Structure 1
Amino acid sequence: MVLTTRKYDVIVVGGGHAGCEAALAAARMGLSTLILAIDLDKVASMPCSPSIGGTAKGHLVREVDAMGGEMGKASDASAIQFKTLNTKKGPAVHSTRTQNDKNIYHRTMKAVLEGQANLHLKQGMVERLVVEGGAVKGVVDQTGFGYEAGAVVIAAGTFLSGLVHVGQCAIKAGRAGEFAAYGLAASMKDLGLEMGRMKTGTPPRVHRDTIDYSQLEEHRADETPCFFSFSSTHAPLPQLPSFIGHTTEATRNVVMENLARSPLYCGTIKGVSARYCPSFEDKAVKFPDRVSHQVILEPEGIDTREMYVSGLGNSLPVDLQIPFVRSIPGFEEAEIIRPGYAIEYDYVNPVQLRPSLETRKVDGLFLAGQINGTSGYEEAAAQGLWAGVNAALKVMGRSPFVLDRSQGYMGVMVDDLITRGTLEPYRIFTSRAEYRLMMREDNADFRLTEMAHELGLVGDDTVRQVRERKAAIDREMGRIRRVVVKPSAEINAYLGERDSAPLKTGAPLDQILKRAKVGYDVVNTVAPADPPVEPRVAKQVEIEVKYEGYIDRQLAEIEKFKHLEKIRIPENFAFDAVHGLSNELRAKLIEVRPVSLGQASRIDGITPAALSVLMIHLKRQGGQ
């Protein structure tokens, strides 16, 4: 192997959302970092939906931002529509979503990568990993040139043995028009990593001037944008509408009458599809009583006429995609610019990973993104940051960075993956988080920025601002608890307008704020702060006051949860020697190798009785 003259601390393979965050994290922690991408003109590409965020996904973006990551900033800088979802529900599930100009997103992220100290960009396809004595030593590209490093992060997306399907045409590609990485996939299999096959896809893109918008419902951006990044102050781009339409029985008939020509249903595709983002073939077959399905027409950018048709993902041949698309009202004259397609790719069973996302088989080898069986830009970015931080810590000889399930959606996702694995593309949901009231979008910086500062991911100014906001919240909470509001015409008129009972005796201001339909404006009405608090502080105060009882109960639940997490299981613990467990449970414990009793409790099939048996044997074998 011919080696470069320099040794890098960390090498990141892949320039997608996971790769970008991994490389930036390692470089910002002061380590010499190399990012290798097959095509540097596709760094941070958005090959599927031109959007970031959504339910629970927005939480991940906020957490990445709070940890010093870049996705939130790049999304705000390229957003052409801001939306906050679930606003009629509680704050735990409020989620930010943006539509983005995908080219501006790419250019914004690439400029950050190129300007980052300690970070080197090179174009090349990694062909194999160099492993000696059970530890990764570097990588070799397709030309035979090698790069040496102390740790390697693989963030290969859909490129491992990627196969694109359009009808019966199957093309070896990581994405349409891009090379697939077959050598790297074979190299990972040779290392003994258990791998599987998954499938995802993307819908057609149509020319915006060929759509009859009078038959579609227009949806505009929120008047007041809610930014992903805590540092963003304004939306720099024009805000564009999206449009909603619906498929017809004719749309369904095109699919049902031609299933034999769909690689998904004629047996060509072997990979497992995502239930939560089904192709239209799946919708037609699995929901036979549903005549119509929603489609969303979204612009892919300001300076392009390409429109993304969300909801029409399919793998039909092109001659069928044309009548398929044109069967939708408003799309009768639609011109397809890029056909939809399905793609199969290899992934690694994530139960083979440590909580740091390091593989147990190869020391210093970390995996992030779709290679771990996940789907989505946001899931990839969060794993990328997590793996990049831990690769850096590995080289530095420091303890791993791990969040638990009470600290962030990132912690929920990683714990789900390494404890339960996944047999289909994994997607984050708010329902996966047991402590979601404590892990809201709005408090991600309070939860995580101090940790990011300790790791060297954010500077002193950032953490100082977070501390000052937290102090302002505490001051305002204390103030409104001390203020007693007496009955008056003014306050009772305010309460009457909100269908709330009038005051008959004096009441603490925080108790009035707890009432339904009463917002923080009641504070400004009867006892405004001097000087006024900033809107973010006011929002936090209102949430903490209104949900105080629920928050207290969840904090008590978290204390119980942390008790089990504190009971650690040694890495060499002999699960096969634990008597009183079924062979099936012993096999699962050996496969997952949980690091704590808490993690063991979340393995499928583990009962309270089994947990008690495990605890007894853990004490006998010297566990803590």
Structure 2
Amino acid sequence: MFNTVYDVIVVGGGHAGSEAAASSANLGAHTLLITMNLQNIAQMSCNPAMGGIAKGQIVREIDALGGYSAIVTDKTAIQFKMLNKSKGPAMWSPRAQSDRMRFAECWRTMLEQINNLDFYQDNVTGLIFDGNTIVGVKTSLGIEIKAKKVIITAGTFLNGLIHIGDKTFGGGRAGESASIGITEDLVKVGFESGRMKTGTPPRVDARSLDFSKMIEQPGDDNPEKFSYSTTTKSLQNQRSCYMSYTSKEVHDLLRTGFDRSPMFNGRIQSIGPRYCPSIEDKIDRFATKERHQIFVEPEGWDTVEIYVNGFSTSLPEDVQDKALRKVAGFENVKFLRFGYAIEYDYFPPTQLTHTLETKLIKNLYFAGQINGTTGYEEAAAQGLMAGINAALSIQNKEPFILKRNEAYIGVLIDDLITKGTEEPYRMFTSRAEYRTLLRQDNADLRLTPLGFKLGLASKERMDRVQEKQLKTDLFVKFLIQTSVKPEDINPILEENNTAKISQSMKLFKIAARPQLNFDDVRKLKSVEAFVQENSIDREIVEQTEIHVKYAGYIEKEKNQADKLNRLENVSIPSKFDYTKVQSLSIEARQKLTKIQPITISQASRISGVSPSDISVLLVYMGR
């Protein structure tokens, strides 16, 4: 049946698997996507949303490189918001509510249009090795399928256990069985594994809720979109979300179930996500807080299903029911599904290289929650990179590795393989030391040239990026060269409570004032005429304004990044023997031997490796 030796097999059809299969096949690799249920490709297992703080930047980076997540999000969105607009542009983060059913359908439709991609519904129960190289997979039907590369994107399915109160049963997601066999085969050949947990809140019937008792949360007045491509459009109509609050009464009712909670009675010992805790965890950790926000999020345009964001729980179903009924607007709530916690296997990501290939077994790649991450966006980014690198390796091309100053994706992967993680890893803007450079608005300028060179981003996309850069540079040059007279600008300055000028001044200096925005600057006839003559759109205006107002910060970060890249260029020989370097601390020797960094810069980011250890290494490397 499967006589073909595939170039790449992708195990799992979630967000990581979908991006991995798409990028691999689009780069010319004959790819097979194996998943337990073809109806659940790219299923939104938890909240029906993409993006958010730092996650939105990742989705835009995936799009700029030629991935699909942003396009699917735009095509199936029901609401769009740009978060953190009150802060600086490095903090702005796009987020969209999606139609859950249409999201999965759109992903499948797009994947089915890729020529080099085959599909097969079955459960992978084993891996086939030839020495220290993977050569294929085994399925529950006893079929062996051979491949040059295998990418495992198993999500929460590896030996998954679902917990609701004192009930426990196997499963990788509600209504779906766990995956047994992959962990066991990996451990046999020497991999270290661990357990993590995550959770999900109840889903309820919108017809049973009283939205008049809640606070409406509409989308942006002028919604943007995720993808830089012209294939998608901004939303014309949006669905509102709503907000309510828990109370002391709700908390007291929840506490009555703590003795039956798997989190508190010891049945769950694995670590859950720090930044997305369950409701019982929140009221236990923040005992003095009298209420917590509950976000009421519709699952789509036409469905009555509601996602109760902020009420993630594994408490007994009777306790969930009693407590949620005391939340304003939920008095007559009808449950479609109770919240639950899920435990699953993961593999500490320090066992990977920057390409996401495992160090122990050649041609084997891990992407997504198997690496200890949480979130669709982090998973999709890893899938994209694993798919790219698997395809490039088959073609004997150089690996594709993003640096920390190039992309949030670079920060994500470097953090995972250099520092590892003992709790579900979530991306934040604070994790990126060059976040002024890594903004959501310039992901196309940063990464589309790289995606185009790879063969993932189209020429049309590349042309649009070049036009965007050209027009931004032109606008900045105009502001630098053009002077404005006091009589023309002073009324605008006075209107915005900023100091007037007494003699002509360059527009660049005026526009850099924090009290002014570019809507104010465009009140000048010369500026508006330039904008109209050169067809400067909103996106170019935003780029120019950021460049003008944050030029000093951007230049400073570029200089810091250049210094970092000097250390990135100092490579460390593979399988370097750190025991020879007696001047290193014992901890540094142990950590460096385990992680095997490929550059001095990566070595400097390993916990336990001090600046003096790095100095010793630099001397030893002949610096």
Deviates more, 1:219-228 or 1:338-347: 219-228
Match of 1:525, SS state, is: coil
Partner of 1:170: 168
Q: Distance in 1 between matches of 2:262 and 2:550?
A: 50
From 545, 548, 567, give the equivalent of 1:545.
Answer: 548
Partner of 1:533: 536
Task: Give the counterpart letter for 1:280 in structure 2.
Answer: I
- Deviation beyond 6 Å, 4+ runs, structure 1: none
From 22, 25, 45, give the equivalent of 2:23.
Answer: 25
Q: Deviations over 1:41-87 (max 9, x none)?
A: 00000010011000000000000000100000111111111001000
Q: Deviations over 1:297-335 (max 9, x none)?
A: 000011211100011111011111110211212111111
Partner of 2:61: 63
From 573, 577, 594, give the equivalent of 1:574.
Answer: 577
Q: Distance in 2 between matches of 1:73 and 1:108?
A: 9
Task: Give the counterpart letter for 2:79 in structure 1.
Answer: Q
Partner of 1:279: 278
Q: Is the 8 A contact 1:127 1:181 kept in 2?
A: yes
Match of 2:436, SS state, is: helix
Match of 1:218, SS state, is: strand
Q: Is the 8 A contact 1:79 1:237 kept in 2?
A: no
Q: Deviations over 1:317-372 (max 9, x none)?
A: 11111102112121111111100000000000000000100000010101000000
Q: Is the 8 A contact 1:80 1:237 kept in 2?
A: no
Deviates more, 1:90-99 or 1:257-266: 257-266
Task: Give the counterpart letter for 1:400 in structure 2.
Answer: P
Partner of 1:14: 12
Q: CA offset at residue 115 of structure 1?
A: 0.8
From 80, 83, 90, give the equivalent of 1:82.
Answer: 80
Q: Is the 8 A contact 1:22 1:386 kept in 2?
A: yes
Q: Distance in 2 between matches of 1:339 and 1:525?
A: 55
Deviates more, 1:191-200 or 1:583-592: 583-592
Q: Is the 8 A contact 2:257 2:316 kept in 1?
A: no
Q: Is the 8 A contact 1:245 1:295 kept in 2?
A: yes
Q: Distance in 2 between matches of 1:291 and 1:487?
A: 55
Deviates more, 1:553-562 or 1:60-69: 553-562
Task: Give the counterpart letter for 2:575 in structure 1.
Answer: N
Q: Deviations over 1:185-238 (max 9, x none)?
A: 211212211110000000001111111112210010111112110115524574
Answering whether residue 609 of structure 2 is matched by residue 610 of structure 1, we say no
Q: Is the 8 A contact 1:77 1:235 kept in 2?
A: no
Q: Distance in 1 between matches of 2:503 and 2:303?
A: 63
Q: Is the 8 A contact 1:78 1:237 kept in 2?
A: no
Partner of 1:119: 117
Q: CA offset at residue 523 of structure 1?
A: 4.3
Answering whether residue 351 of structure 2 is matched by residue 348 of structure 1, we say no
Partner of 1:564: 567
Partner of 1:385: 384
Q: CA offset at residue 255 of structure 1?
A: 2.3
From 228, 231, 242, give the equivalent of 1:230.
Answer: 228
Which runs of structure 2 are paired with 1:358-373 in the superposition (5 Å)? 358-373=357-372
Task: Give the counterpart letter for 1:205 in structure 2.
Answer: R
Deviates more, 1:332-341 or 1:607-616: 607-616
Task: Give the counterpart letter for 1:590 in structure 2.
Answer: T
Partner of 2:596: 593
Structure 2 unaligned residues grouped into runs of 5+: none
Tell me the TM-score normalized by structure 1.
0.97
Task: Give the counterpart letter for 1:244 in structure 2.
Answer: M
Tell me the TM-score normalized by structure 2.
0.97
Match of 1:452, SS state, is: helix
Q: Is the 8 A contact 1:18 1:155 kept in 2?
A: yes
Match of 2:327, SS state, is: coil
Match of 1:5, SS state, is: coil
Q: Deviations over 1:396-439 (max 9, x none)?
A: 11111101110000000100000000000000000000000000
Partner of 2:302: 303
Match of 1:46, SS state, is: coil
Task: Give the counterpart letter for 1:603 in structure 2.
Answer: I
With over 3 angstroms needed to count, the CA separation of the structure-2 counterparts of 1:523 and 1:329, relative to structure 1, is closer
Q: Is the 8 A contact 1:52 1:377 kept in 2?
A: yes
Partner of 1:333: 332
Q: Distance in 1 between matches of 2:211 and 2:176?
A: 33
From 144, 147, 150, give the equivalent of 2:148.
Answer: 150
Partner of 1:438: 437
Q: CA offset at residue 598 of structure 1?
A: 0.4
Q: Is the 8 A contact 1:55 1:430 kept in 2?
A: yes
Q: Is the 8 A contact 1:163 1:345 kept in 2?
A: yes
Q: Distance in 2 between matches of 1:168 and 1:145?
A: 37
Task: Give the counterpart letter for 1:117 in structure 2.
Answer: N
Match of 1:557, SS state, is: helix
From 497, 500, 512, give the equivalent of 2:498.
Answer: 500
Structure 1 unaligned residues grouped into runs of 5+: none
Q: CA offset at residue 582 of structure 1?
A: 2.6
Partner of 1:451: 450
Which runs of structure 2 are paired with 1:36-75 in the superposition (5 Å)? 36-75=34-73
Q: Distance in 2 between matches of 1:521 and 1:331?
A: 43
Q: Deviations over 1:73-111 (max 9, x none)?
A: 111111111001000000001000111110010111100
Match of 1:234, SS state, is: coil
Task: Give the counterpart letter for 2:592 in structure 1.
Answer: L
Partner of 2:205: 207
Which runs of structure 2 are paired with 1:175-190 in the superposition (5 Å)? 175-190=173-188
Q: Distance in 2 between matches of 1:482 and 1:404?
A: 35
Partner of 1:415: 414
Task: Give the counterpart letter for 2:214 in structure 1.
Answer: L
Q: Distance in 1 between matches of 2:420 and 2:2?
A: 37
Q: Deviations over 1:152-207 (max 9, x none)?
A: 11100000010111111111101011111111121121221111000000000111
Q: Distance in 2 between matches of 1:447 and 1:236?
A: 26
Match of 1:391, SS state, is: helix
Deviates more, 1:232-241 or 1:5-14: 232-241
Q: CA offset at residue 270 of structure 1?
A: 2.1
Q: Deviations over 1:477-507 (max 9, x none)?
A: 112211111121x421112111122221111
Q: CA offset at residue 581 of structure 1?
A: 2.2
Q: Distance in 1 between matches of 2:505 and 2:435?
A: 31
Q: Distance in 2 between matches of 1:411 and 1:139?
A: 29
Q: Is the 8 A contact 2:588 2:610 kept in 1?
A: no
Partner of 1:97: 95
Q: Distance in 2 between matches of 1:62 and 1:468?
A: 18
Q: Is the 8 A contact 2:434 2:561 kept in 1?
A: yes
